[in-house]
Structure 1
């Protein structure tokens, strides 16, 4: 009889492998590189500089190398955090939407000297009429809004059934999918206006009074609090393959959304594909979350000349 020793698999499958002791390859490279740099510097100047001076100069560098190797900030290693800070410092801060490079200002225009704005290069080329986001050579992305269910109020058997259905959907995935949970501001102005306008049409004075009181209650809540609602989005992305890459990618994305709708309907969830105005409004709100919500009809169609813009 042969015995097989079980192998423990860590819960965090993305955890880096330990190469020397508890140090990863990245940490070994940082500590080893720091030590090699100090050793080479000592070989170069060790004969002409006293040993105490070399130790005083090398100590802060060694401590900095150790901190970069083992230190973390907000869950991010310090070396990557430092590289991200340097990249942010060197990256342009003024970006403009353009198809090419930003041309310089004409000579007759008085402008302050300084660097030119850099072009803003977004992965999305635009939103098609069917609501799909055109990612250019990367294919298309489809965004659907998904309803929610109360998991905590279900019985244990119902919770197990919900988890099983969700697991079946995850196992059926044949491509990239993203579940995005975002909070957006709620505007109750329309609801309050409708309550006041329709209160007079109610058949009983008590109902009319209750409608006005409810409208006043909603107005008070809007004045005292920042009202938010939770929105769950399902993003399906498909790459463009072949000559008619965009059409085939769009068909695959819509088919995958249809499959998700059928499977998740067993959980009581509804999956609704966002149309072109809704997708455009969603992308605009992601760029400016503090702006008021954009309603249908406020976007100009592709190629349409904008003659008036109150939002600007």
Structure 2
């Protein structure tokens, strides 16, 4: 006698979304919350003892109550997944951070004394990536190396309960195999269909049948209208695999040792990227390690999302003789 286990509901367990949340020490409160409440209690007691000899009890309560309420709200309330004290510190840091940054290796020069400047000078942009190797390894400015892996998606909701459980188990095994932090970035970026529409229009005449040519032209027209009428977005999943081995040893070390350290870090992240590809392939997810050009494009899109990318860039040893527009005009 056989049983069909495809539609059986698998065993489930609730796991908090924030796996790094602090431990609860007392009465369901964390150490940070207890510290805030203790500071609030001390401040309230100090205010009570300072004014109780001069004011009647109702007015003393009116003075102490805002202090107690503010401390309880700061300790218990949350905003965007974080406590109000951390949120206030983050807002203060954001307010003090320059909003405009420019590329300046030697820093932003101060204006002359006779110039009256309004506002704040832009700050120099400090990119976290120092260099991009030909094999796609990113040398980080703070030390260490990283590799970007572009991954596809899987239709999880269309699977049966047992298939979903198997996918979760395999994904969990990959997560448990990681020995360093890994960042999974899911973002939506604009999608441009004009290139595909132009390709269909340009190659439609080469099709062997006139009906196929008309179908290709109609599809190109549809893509052009769709691109003009809708703001299309495509979902992209990037996995950032890092190696925390420093790639910037002490400057007094010989150049060979510094280069050997960089090569060792690059080999580690490339091996981990290959293991990630194999683990995701078992889930039916297509993954690829980005090369130097793809990494540069991903970084440029992250810094300037939605802006057109530069194309047809010449190499460092090539000579720029004329622009593409001048060449087309001369033809």
Q: What range is the shorter-chain TM-score in?
A: 0.7 to 0.9
1:278–1:296 contact (8 Å) kept in structure 2? no
Counterpart of 1:268 in structure 2 is 284
The 5-angstrom pairing of residues 2-21 of structure 1 reads 11-12=15-16, 13-21=19-27
2:225 aligned to which of 202, 220, 226? 220
1:289 is aligned to 2:305: yes
1:189 is aligned to 2:205: no
Shift, 1:300, TM fit:
7.2
1:251 aligned to which of 267, 271, 286? 267
Counterpart of 1:5 in structure 2 is none
Cα RMSD (Å): 3.1
1:115 aligned to which of 91, 102, 120? 120
SS of the residue aligned with 1:92? coil
1:260-303 superposed Cα distances (whole Å, 9 cap, x missing partner): 223333333333221212111111111121213x265448759x
Could you state the TM-score of these two structures normalised by the residue count of structure 1? 0.82
Q: Unmatched 5+ residue regions in structure 1?
A: 1-8
Range with greater deviation from structure 2 (161-170 or 17-26): 161-170
- Give the whole-Å Cα distance in 1 for the aligned partners of 2:282 and 2:31: 46
- Give the whole-Å Cα distance in 2 for the aligned partners of 1:163 and 1:35: 46
The 5-angstrom pairing of residues 103-182 of structure 1 reads 103-106=109-112, 110=115, 112-154=117-159, 158-182=163-187
- Give the whole-Å Cα distance in 2 for the aligned partners of 1:139 and 1:236: 11
Shift, 1:181, TM fit:
1.9
Shift, 1:251, TM fit:
0.6
Shift, 1:83, TM fit:
1.8
- Give the whole-Å Cα distance in 2 for the aligned partners of 1:46 and 1:301: 77
Counterpart of 1:279 in structure 2 is 295
SS of the residue aligned with 2:129? coil
SS of the residue aligned with 2:89? helix
How many residue pairs were aligned?
297
Shift, 1:125, TM fit:
1.7
- Give the whole-Å Cα distance in 1 for the aligned partners of 2:123 and 2:104: 9
